Amino acid sequence: MNSRVTLTCVLSLVFLGSLAAVGVQRKELYSLRSRQPASSQRTAATEPRPQAPPVTTSIPSAPLTEQEKLERLKLRAEVTRLRQRQQQLADVKDNNAQLLAKLTALNLKPGTDKIALPDGYVRASDSRMVGFATPEAAFQSFAWAFQRWDTNVLAQAATPEFFKYLVTSPEIREKASKVPGYLIRQKTSLPDGLIELEVEVVPGTPPDKLHLLLEDGQWKVTN
């Protein structure tokens, strides 16, 4: 009788222990299942989302009209002309810089006889305002106004572009009175209607090339 009771108690304890173990396993399984969705969400949130390719739209350009084509050609021609003019003015600036360097080196002043003057050489002090009817007369009037810095006559003797360059260059104004004179070595008619004068300013040095054009019946120095 006692052994049966004892056996019954042991079996009861084993059964209760099994039930407790099953309960613990179910509780752990439920806890794992409840945590799994949050972990999946965190993983999905950390994964980079694929970016949609950029949408590009191209707007076809309308063909130019005949008037627009003509205007474009005119603009191109004007740009080309301005670039050529800019190059000419750059050459003028270089020539003037070389001339000023020569004058500074020789330290010449009007009326001095440091070197022998060639035949036909016109001193700056002897130049006159003789009008603009011929290239030679226009250049002498230009030289006269330049040596005395008479801007009213310079405005008549030079083209507007060249006149603007002269009056806006401080180094030109400073050296104008030091020009001793000039001698026209050669005169050439160019195909574009310009007259090219090879002018020797400082005796014994290579001549500089200057150009004149005819505007409204008057010759003007263009560079």
DSSP string covering 65-91: PHHHHHHHHHHHHHHHHHHHHHHHHHH
Tell me, what's the pLDDT at 186?
A: 93
Look up the CATH number of the domain holding residue 117: 3.10.450
At residue 187, the pLDDT reads 94
Hunting for tokens 């173990």 — which residue is that?
Answer: 21
Q: What is the pLDDT of residue 155?
A: 94
**Over 70: is that where the pLDDT of 191 sits?**
yes
Q: Is the pLDDT of residue 85 over 70?
A: yes
- Report yes or no on 45 lying in a domain: no
Report the C-alpha gap between 143 and 98 in whole angstroms: 17
pTM for this entry: 0.50
Give residue 210's pLDDT.
92
Asked whether the beta carbons of 142 and 149 are under 8 A apart, the reply is: no
Measure the N-to-C terminal CA separation of the chain; round to a whole number of Å.
Answer: 142
Position 83 scores a pLDDT of 82
The answer as to whether 143 is a domain residue is yes
| Structural domain for 127, as ranges | 67-221
The total domain count for the chain is 1
Domain-located, residue 46: no
Residue 8 lies in a domain: no
Q: What number is the average pLDDT over the span 71-96?
A: 77
Residue with tokens 């050609």: 73
CB atoms within 10 A of CB 51: 6
How far is it, in rounded angstroms, from Cα 160 to Cα 119? 33
Structure confidence at residue 62 as a pLDDT band (50, 70, 90)? confident
Share of the chain above pLDDT 70, in %: 61
Residue 161's nearest CA partner among 85, 107, 104 is 85
Question: Is 197 part of a structural domain of the chain?
Answer: yes
Query: Above 90 in pLDDT, residue 195?
Result: yes
109 is a domain residue: yes
- pLDDT tens digit sequence for 104-146: 544 444 444 455 788 889 988 888 999 999 999 999 999 999 9
pLDDT digits (tens, 9 = 90+) for 3-28: 454 444 444 444 445 545 445 455 55
Closest CA to 182 of 139, 152, 216: 139
Whether the per-residue pLDDT at 174 is higher than 60: the answer is yes
Q: How confident is the model at residue 97 (pLDDT cuts 50, 70, 90)?
A: low
CA dihedral defined by 22, 26, 32, 37, rounded to 10 degrees?
160
